[in-house]
Structure 1
Amino acid sequence: MITTLGFVMMLGIIALILLKRLTPVVAFALVPVVICMLAGYTPAKTGEFIKSGLTSVAPTATLFIFAILYFGIMRERGMFDPLVNLLIRSTRGKPMRVTVVTVLVAAIAHLDGVGAATFLLTIPALLPLYQRLKISPTALLCLVGLSAGIVNMVPWGGPTARAAATAGVDASALWLPLVPVQILGIGLMLALAVYFGRKAERNLAAENLQHSDMSAYLLPPRATALPTGHWRYWANVILTLIILVILFTGAFPLYAAFMVGLAIALLLNYPGVEEQSQHIAVHAKDALQMALVMLAAGILLGVLKGTGMSNGMATALIDILPNGSASVLHLIVGAFGVPLGMLFSPDAYYFALMPIVRDISLSAGVPVEAVARAMLIGENTGFSISPVVPSVYLAIGLAGVELREHIKFTFFWAWGIGIILLAFASLTGAIGG
């Protein structure tokens, strides 16, 4: 009975989200409670399940809120702008330099883990370069999207935060073994950029367009940005470096580091109380939207675990799997992460599909961290071609490219790179061998 209800609940949630009948917040908060009541659990017992689930996701939700607010303030103060403009100047109108710089700019811009902000920063700035040098805008979308996807594995990024919440592990501990994977991924993207750039240079061989004036394509000054000579600018840089050191050393809980970092950043940049409130409000939508989904997913996770649905569904699925396949299920799902990510929204992928894969794999002795990392690699790599990711429509709109053209151009590059990264992660032991 409980196993059947579990399957009904999970499939129902996935269907309701994919068909856009309910928002993730409503689906995750309401459906599990209804199913719990149908299973005969009292409101008090259901409340215990909910409390347990919320406790498990609270640190990750806190990390996401404060990291997004922190990086939002750093972005509006222009901390990354000088580096981005330096990269643009370095192109000197050569297509291969432009494509390589695209990867570097997208990787830097996506350090805040917000896809929409990355697309807004990179595509309008770089599209004129691509148009003047007659490089297809689909190549721009491919390089920006895949580079952002590889960087998106950072612990304050949405997918890693979701995976950490579902796995019940610390987001930074989940991420650190993926750093070599990200380094290889950026290396592969640079190689792809060189390929695209050389192809464009051959097309321009008869046209002397490689030495155009790049000054027109620099990022325009932000009204809220600080000049690099201002002491506050360098204070922001030092503060960010300190947080990154804490991230790598684990000397302080990461969510706490961003909480304190945000408080310091607000005092440094906006001493007035009214200013602080205004600038928090500017970035609150991005921060709270994901946190609400994550907290609502805590209800789902608590019900799955507390009622025993996860174990029941895992056992039922194991019974129909060929002998020995449970130990490699996470690798199979990871290998199909790119196409699965096009079918499942990130919320459904991590909060509905992952718990089942997690429990089956755990029963075969696979560490939960390995499951989470395997599922992260493919889904992240291909997030920019997923029709169920809202920021994708922003990207294709900015570039003036149809979704069909974008998917046709980028899909196999994304899937191929995702499989290579998964194989590398297996060799390094990040996801098992």
Structure 2
Amino acid sequence: MLVALGFLMILTFMALIMTSRMTPMLALILVPTVFGLIGGAGLGIGDMVLDAIKDMAPTAALLMFAIMYFGIMINVGLFDPLISWITRILGNDPAKVVVGTAVLAGVVSLDGDGSTTFIITTSAMLPLYLRLGMSPVVLTCVAGLINGTMNIVPWGGPTVRAAAALGVEPSEVFVPMLPSLGAGLVICFIFAWLLGQAERKRLGRIETSHLTGMGGPATAPNEAPATTESTAQAVQTSMADTMLDPDRASLRPKLLWFNLALTVAVMVLLVADIFPLAFVFMVGAAVALTVNFPRLKDQANEMVAHSSSIVAVVGMVLAAGVLVGVLDGTGMVTAMAEWITSVIPDSLGGYLAPITGLLSMPMTFFMSNDAFYFGILPVLAESASHFGIEPVQMAQASITGQPVHMQSPLVPAILLLVSLANVELGAHHRKVLWRAAVVSVVMLAVGVLVGPIPFHVG
């Protein structure tokens, strides 16, 4: 019964958010509550949830103050010169902008931290997307795909977890998977180029329609339209409604170098991992507010300006504690894992490596990496050992699902990404999930073809 309830709960949650029938925060609270009570949690459901929320609190604090800090930096104009420089390099071609997003996210992903990658990528690229009228969900899709693919680097969490759980070295797991990583990145860049091409065509149609409606001549998508007074006024009006208004009152050009030094210091502390990340952003946001907005009223107004984004993402993180608490507290996660391993017949035992790769996609999406790599992978590896499949091969197969895992609502970094880009989680999932599944399958297939992952043993 717990197995059925667990899968039904997850399917219900995904259906509600992907069809936009309920916000993710409400779905994360109400759906697990109902299924938890049906599953026999009773009066103990509150303690289950609070135990999970205690673990979520540092993440909620990190996201709250990270959003505030970078919102302040964008408002005061720190990234305006960067956007001008990127614009000169990439021009106004949406296809090049999307590929540039993929390159930036891929390079920053080398540090192994999703939150840092999404903070830097969004801060640098989102203003450019808004200025060109591009869809921010394209940014979240490309950044999420690249980061999930790069998440298998040996200093990243999944590879270390898989290696530790099965008693092998991270380098043994990673190095033979380099062809898979390369193939996954190629697919990511192909998707980025296609998404950019689609944005180029969409914006070209809008531009043509707009000018035709004004009585002006239609232009080809790659041609710049003639600038008219009314067109310029329309652009200026839309710009004034965003953080990109060049005349916004929050600009602090005289403090540009101070804000740059402060941001560099924050990023160095993030990479050095000397202090908890939440504390770094708390202090950074406090210093940024104090220096850029010395008046009490201005400080209050600036905090209020970012309150909607903060409430949305922090509320979602804390609400995720309900889902995690019910899954763990009722035993649904354990029951689901045991059921999955028990239904694999002996006749498929020789295929356990690719089966593990396929299972890693949905299972790491619906549960944490810790739960999968320390709870389920050892059981699968033990079964596979009876058929002659080595632990390192099982570890290699298990990490191919990371492009899908990174899109999970249980991953705090992806909640930060969609919040910074002001994108609905359901819209992000509709755009990214099938592409992430394709990348994962390609990585698994290349692993099988090249050799580290055996297709069949016995």
Report the TM range for the smaller structure's normalisation: 0.5 to 0.7
Q: 2: CA distance between counterparts of 1:91 and 1:212?
A: 19
SS at match of 1:364: helix
SS at match of 2:257: helix
Q: Paired residue for 2:377?
A: 361
Q: Paired residue for 1:134?
A: none
Distance 1:153 1:415, change over 3 A: closer
Cα-Cα RMSD: 5.6
Q: Paired residue for 2:302?
A: 279
Match of 1:292 among 311, 315, 338: 315
Q: CA deviation at 1:61?
A: 1.6
Greater shift in the superposed pair: 256-265 or 82-91: 82-91
Mapped contact 2:73–2:259 kept (Cα < 8 A): yes
The one-letter amino acid paired with 2:324 is L
C-alpha offsets along residues 83-142 of structure 1, whole Å, 9 cap, x if unaligned?
11123234689x7xx854664478779966499988862235346xxxxxxxxx8xx999
Mapped contact 2:142–2:192 kept (Cα < 8 A): no
The one-letter amino acid paired with 1:323 is G
The one-letter amino acid paired with 2:263 is T
Distance 1:51 1:107, change over 3 A: same
Q: Paired residue for 2:260?
A: 237
Mapped contact 1:5–1:39 kept (Cα < 8 A): yes
Q: Paired residue for 1:58?
A: 57
Residue ranges of structure 1 left out of the alignment (5+ in a row): 128-136, 155-162, 168-176, 201-206, 341-347, 384-388, 396-402, 427-433
Q: Paired residue for 1:247?
A: 270
Q: Paired residue for 1:29?
A: 29
Distance 1:289 1:35, change over 3 A: same
Mapped contact 1:227–1:233 kept (Cα < 8 A): yes
Q: CA deviation at 1:360?
A: 3.5
Q: 2: CA distance between counterparts of 1:146 and 1:35?
A: 31
Mapped contact 1:326–1:361 kept (Cα < 8 A): no
The correspondence of residues 11-410 of structure 1 with structure 2, limited to 5 A, is 11-43=11-43, 45-90=44-89, 100=96, 103-104=99-100, 113=119, 121-126=127-132, 147-149=142-144, 189=189, 221-224=246-249, 226=251, 228=253, 230=254, 232-321=255-344, 322-323=348-349, 331-332=357-358, 350=365, 359-361=375-377, 363-364=379-380, 375-378=401-404
Distance 1:422 1:304, change over 3 A: same
Identity of matched residues, %: 27
SS at match of 1:30: helix
Q: 1: CA distance between counterparts of 2:252 and 2:365?
A: 41
Q: CA deviation at 1:332?
A: 2.6
SS at match of 1:323: helix
Q: 2: CA distance between counterparts of 1:29 and 1:233?
A: 42
Distance 1:55 1:253, change over 3 A: same
Distance 1:314 1:325, change over 3 A: farther
What count of residue pairs does the alignment treat as equivalent? 352
SS at match of 1:47: helix
Q: 2: CA distance between counterparts of 1:143 and 1:10?
A: 26
Q: 2: CA distance between counterparts of 1:332 and 1:50?
A: 30
C-alpha offsets along residues 225-254 of structure 1, whole Å, 9 cap, x if unaligned?
5464x1x22111111111111111111111
SS at match of 2:32: helix
Mapped contact 1:92–1:210 kept (Cα < 8 A): no
Q: CA deviation at 1:323?
A: 2.8
Q: 1: CA distance between counterparts of 2:250 and 2:298?
A: 15
The one-letter amino acid paired with 2:127 is L
Residue ranges of structure 2 left out of the alignment (5+ in a row): 106-115, 150-157, 163-173, 201-219, 227-231, 382-390, 410-416, 449-458
SS at match of 2:274: coil
Q: CA deviation at 1:283?
A: 1.2
Mapped contact 1:382–1:415 kept (Cα < 8 A): no
C-alpha offsets along residues 198-245 of structure 1, whole Å, 9 cap, x if unaligned?
xx9xxxxxx9x99999xx9997624145464x1x22111111111111
Q: 2: CA distance between counterparts of 1:118 and 1:187?
A: 23
Distance 1:211 1:240, change over 3 A: same
Distance 1:256 1:317, change over 3 A: same
Q: Is the radius of gyration larger for structure 1 or structure 2?
A: 2
Mapped contact 1:87–1:105 kept (Cα < 8 A): no
C-alpha offsets along residues 22-80 of structure 1, whole Å, 9 cap, x if unaligned?
3332332233333333333441x222211111112111122111111111111111111
Q: 1: CA distance between counterparts of 2:87 and 2:333?
A: 50
Mapped contact 1:382–1:411 kept (Cα < 8 A): no
The one-letter amino acid paired with 1:14 is M
Mapped contact 1:66–1:258 kept (Cα < 8 A): yes
Q: Paired residue for 1:430?
A: none
Q: CA deviation at 1:8?
A: 3.4
Mapped contact 2:341–2:380 kept (Cα < 8 A): no
SS at match of 1:79: coil
Q: CA deviation at 1:186?
A: 10
TM-score (norm 2): 0.57
TM-score (norm 1): 0.60
Q: Paired residue for 2:384?
A: none
